[in-house]
């Protein structure tokens, strides 16, 4: 899912100004007629109301249709919303925007009718003033919620673009063991690779075609510490493993450039307990021929790993 297209949420004052500006514009076109024919004042006031209603409806629609319905989001994204935002607050804010839209429509209809039936000019202008007051007050009542929606949009734009319905392989292991390098070899993607730890600022995701199926590979950094102690990327990685992974690939680096083999075996065992099928990939075999633990079925090249993924897909019923 991609959250890049969420509509920017403006402030309550911005919407009010725009709506009233549009109202003025549509009425000013009638000014010349107004002098000639006083009953044109009524038409001008009605046109202003329509302009306000139209403007606010269009802009609130833009927001409401671009935000996803939270309860129907895939679990992965629901959890991501829960850890990065106040889920209930976001839901309430969307409800408030919907409420404002309905109220604007209600007041527009009712004042449209009142002015239409009105014969007295003074009464007409006082209705008009009252209408503007009601609309401003509706929009000001949702001021805080609009601000929260804009805050949420900015946070959600940082969510990774993960496909939740295709066979997904998460690549796990200590920093610097070669996860990102493996992702690049498997998928041809060109993520950032550096020989110091913690270079990953976002989840790296790539795709490969295996046996005519599009397979998603996610580079999932992190060492499954306590959830609150993880940085945001590690949290995203952890959720991806939990909710998206059909298969885990544990990258084991026998060169011990960063972490000794004992530590790496411990993390491997911890990850093994998550309850996902796991394949071990021994990295850096070009500089450590034959080294590393004797793990049954461990893959020592991207080609071997591709075959392991393929057979995991077959046994997982992905075909």
Distances, alpha carbon 249 to alpha carbons 112, 134, 213, 225, in Å: 64, 59, 18, 18
Dihedral-angle region of residue 220 (phi above 0 means left; psi in -120 to 50 means alpha; beta otherwise): beta
CB count within 10 Å of CB 200 equals 22
Cβ at position 247, least distance to Mg ion in Å: 19
Q: Which does 187 bind (CB under 5 to 8 A by kind): Mg ion, ligand GDP, none?
A: none
176 binds ligand GDP (CB under 6 A): yes
Find out whether 174 and 264 touch, Cβ atoms under 8 Å. yes
195 binds ligand GDP (CB under 6 A): yes
Distances, alpha carbon 189 to alpha carbons 186, 202, 207, 238, 266, in Å: 8, 14, 8, 22, 30
Closer CB to ligand GDP, 71 or 195, in the complex: 195
Cβ at position 190, least distance to ligand GDP in Å: 12
Dihedral-angle region of residue 188 (phi above 0 means left; psi in -120 to 50 means alpha; beta otherwise): left
Separation between Cα atoms, residue 112 and residue 106, nearest integer Å: 10
Of the candidate residues 165, 286, 296, 297, the single one contacting ligand GDP (CB under 6 A): 286
Quick one: which segment of 32-40, 179-187, 233-241, 292-300 binds ligand GDP (CB under 6 A)? 179-187
The contact mask relative to Mg ion for 175-194 (x = CB under 5 A, - = no) is -----x--------------
Beta carbons within 8 Å of 305's beta carbon, 6+ residues apart: 182, 186, 249, 279, 281, 299
Quick one: which segment of 24-32, 43-51, 154-162, 200-208 binds Mg ion (CB under 5 A)? 200-208
| Nearest residue to Mg ion, by Cβ distance, number only | 180
Cβ at position 195, least distance to Mg ion in Å: 10
305 binds ligand GDP (CB under 6 A): no
| Contact residues for ligand GDP, defined by CB under 6 A | 173, 175-181, 193, 195, 283-284, 286-287
Residues that bind Mg ion (CB under 5 A): 180, 200
């Amino acid at each position: 899912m991609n959250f890049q297209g969420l509509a920017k949420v403006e402030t309550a004052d911005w919407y009010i100004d725009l709506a009233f500006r549009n109202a003025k514009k549509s009425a000013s076109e009638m000014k010349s007629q107004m002098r000639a024919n006083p009953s044109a004042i009524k038409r001008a006031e009605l046109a202003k109301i329509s302009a306000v209603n139209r403007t606010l409806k269009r802009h609130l629609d833009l927001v409401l249709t671009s935000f996803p319905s939270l309860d129907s989001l895939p679990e992965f994204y629901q959890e991501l919303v829960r850890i990065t935002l106040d889920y209930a607050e976001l839901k309430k804010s969307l409800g408030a925007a919907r409420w404002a839209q309905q109220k604007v429509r209600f007041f527009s209809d009712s004042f449209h009718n009142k002015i239409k039936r009105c014969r007295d000019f003074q009464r007409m202008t006082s209705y008009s003033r009252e209408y503007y007051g009601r609309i401003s007050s509706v929009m000001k009542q949702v001021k805080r919620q609009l601000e929260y929606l804009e805050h949420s949009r900015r946070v959600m734009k940082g969510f990774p673009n993960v496909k939740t319905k295709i066979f997904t392989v998460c690549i796990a292991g200590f920093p610097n063991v070669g996860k990102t390098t493996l992702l690049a070899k498997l998928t041809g993607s060109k993520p950032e690779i550096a020989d110091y730890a913690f270079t990953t600022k976002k989840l790296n995701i790539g795709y490969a075609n295996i046996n005519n199926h599009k397979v998603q590979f996610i580079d999932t950094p992190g060492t499954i510490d306590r959830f609150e102690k993880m940085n945001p990327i590690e949290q995203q990685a952890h959720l991806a493993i939990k909710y998206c992974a059909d298969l885990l690939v544990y990258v084991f680096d026998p060169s011990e450039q960063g972490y000794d083999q004992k530590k790496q075996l411990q993390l491997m065992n911890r990850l093994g307990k998550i309850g996902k099928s796991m394949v071990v990939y021994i990295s850096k075999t070009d500089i450590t021929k034959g080294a590393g633990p004797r793990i049954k079925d461990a893959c020592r090249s991207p080609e071997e790993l591709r075959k392991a993924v393929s057979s995991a897909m077959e046994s997982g019923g992905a075909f």
